[in-house]
Amino acid sequence: MEIKIAVLPGDGIGPEIIEQGLKVIKTVCTRFGHNLKYREGLVGAAAIDAAGHPYPEETHQLCMESDAVFFGAIGDPKYDNNPAASVRPEQGLLQMRKSLGLYANIRPVATFPSLVHTSPLRTELVEGADFICIRELTGGLYFGRPQGRSEDGNTAYDTCIYTREEIERILRLAYRYAGARRNKLTVVDKANVLATSRLWRQVAQEIAGEYPKVETEFMFVDNAAMRIIQWPKSFDVIVTENMFGDILTDEASVITGSLGMLPSASIGLHTSVFEPIHGSYPQAAGKNIANPIATILSAALMFEYAFELQREAAAIRNAVASALANGIVTEDISASGSKACKTTEVGDFINEVINC
Ligand code: IPM
Ligand code: MN
């Protein structure tokens, strides 16, 4: 079939990890007889420099015309700690999510048997952990208005807003996921303090009866932060608002051994976006040391979600498992005493396994 995708490398390590991911996508397409058509677009700091905007209209058109977006990372330290910067690279990512209507961010957290020893958590706690975090992606503090500063600059404010419709559509999606898995949904909120959280809880209670097979559990976010690393195996599907989901999934990556391992799929009204959950890791940019696996696993999610091609996704996952089992890994997950591989070496190995 035709695989028509937009490729947005972005900033920092983005171009390096996307190069490895794209290599894998090309190999999968050749091996399974698909016709790959891709075009690259600008986003983030790279787009500000070249086009004066972090998500240029041209990039948006490209995304809208594609069947999936393969995205690297965004962010550049020259904009951090710079309150005067009027435009930030991250705005490009947020605008892309909003304009494409990507209200759900699916972040699967699963351990690889050959990696359990690299997690700082005890093996018996993380072995077999397998849950999905569904993060609401176009509401809450990230998008609520007003946001800004008082005239004298001494007061700043953000607004957390959620409507019933926004809450209901993400909860229903989460119930469907839980129903297709182990029938347990954990709704994470801060209902003891926040009005938005109380609305989340109310809507969840109202619709829970429509999913009788699924057990609904409510958990405060502070408690969830503890439970995720204390007893990760107790979760099946977690659903939560935008900011809580952002924080909890970085934390959850510790279970798998590295932030460089977690892929994600952002889905909603228009073209879906597939991207690693990690950022642009500027300290590593250009050094060929970044872990490309989160990006390569995002390509697997892309074949599965955007094109319903399960065998292609499985081929990628098996090749990743083989790299891990053979110790062909970057420094973030290499065993102490053994030599770490470069980004390109990991990509090449995975590519070869898919090819044979
Ligand atoms: C993520 C990132 C982004 C977010 C940043 C880069 C704006 O941390 O995708 O998790 O906070 O959503
Ligand atoms: Mn994040």
Q: DSSP letters of 237-290? A: EEEE-HHHHHHHHHHHHHHHT-GGG-EEEEESSS--EEEESS---GGGTTTT-S
Q: Is the CB of 11 under 6 A from ligand 1?
A: no
- Could you tell me the pTM of the whole model? 0.96
Q: Hey, what are 23's tokens?
A: 């290599």
pLDDT, residue 60, reads 98
In terms of Cα–Cα distance, which of 167, 43, 156 is closest to 95? Answer: 43
pLDDT digits (tens, 9 = 90+) for 75-116: 999 998 887 788 999 999 999 999 999 999 999 999 998 889
How far apart are alpha carbons 208 and 166 in whole angstroms?
16
Catalytic residue flag (residue 152): no
Tell me how far CA of residue 341 lies from CA of 15, 20, 77, 326, in angstroms.
Answer: 18, 14, 26, 11
What residue type is 41 in one-letter code?
G
- ∠ at Cα 327 (296, 8), nearest 5°? 15
Do 29 and 35 touch, CB atoms closer than 8 A?
yes
Confidence of residue 300 (pLDDT cuts 50, 70, 90): very high
Q: How far apart are CA 315 and CA 318, in angstroms?
A: 5
Torsion of CA 248, 254, 255, 261, to 10 degrees: 100
Q: Tokens in use for 107?
A: 């972040």
pLDDT at 356: 86
Given pLDDT bands bounded at 50, 70 and 90, which one contains residue 335?
confident
What is the whole-number distance in angstroms between the Cα of residue 211 and the centre of ligand 2? 30
For the ranges 111-120, 242-251, 289-298, which has the lowest average pLDDT? 111-120
Q: How many CB atoms lie within 10 A of CB 285?
A: 19
144 CB neighbour count, 10 Å cutoff: 16
User: 32 CB contacts (<8 Å, ≥6 apart)?
Assistant: 309, 311, 312, 315
| CB-CB neighbours of 323 under 10 Å | 26
pLDDT of residue 349: 98
Domains of the chain: 1-108+258-356 (3.40.718.10), 120-134+150-256 (3.40.50.2300)
Is the CB–ligand 1 distance for residue 74 below 6 Å?
A: yes
Told to judge if 103 belongs to the known catalytic residues of this protein, a careful annotator would answer no
Higher pLDDT, 338 or 200: 200
Give the count of beta carbons closer than 10 Å to the beta carbon of residue 312.
23
Nearest residue (by CA) to ligand 1, atom 4, is: 246
- Dist. CA 137 → ligand 2 center (Å): 11
246 is catalytic: yes
Question: Which ligand minimizes its atom distance to the CA of 279?
Answer: 1
Helices and strands (DSSP H and E) totals, the chain: 12, 12
φ, ψ at 9 (rounded to 5°): -65, -40
Residue whose CA lies nearest to ligand 1 atom number 2: 279
User: Mind listing the pLDDT tens digit for each residue in 218-238?
Assistant: 999 999 999 999 999 999 999
207 confidence band (pLDDT: 50, 70, 90): very high
**Going by CA atoms, what residue is nearest to atom 7 of ligand 1?**
90
Q: State if residue 89 touches ligand 1 by the CB under 6 angstroms criterion.
A: no
**325: helix, coil or strand?**
helix
Confidence bin at 284 (pLDDT 50/70/90): very high
The encoded tokens of residue 50 equal: 């070249």
Phi, psi angle pair for 117, to nearest 5° = -75, -15
By the 8 A CB rule, do 56 and 48 touch?
A: no
CA distance 35 to 244: 39
Residue percentage of the chain with pLDDT more than 70: 100
Show Cβ contacts of residue 80 under 8 Å, excluding neighbours closer than 6 positions. Answer: none
What is the DSSP code (8-state) at residue 117?
G
pLDDT at 49 exceeding the cut of 90: yes
Question: What is the pLDDT, as a whole number, of residue 86?
Answer: 84
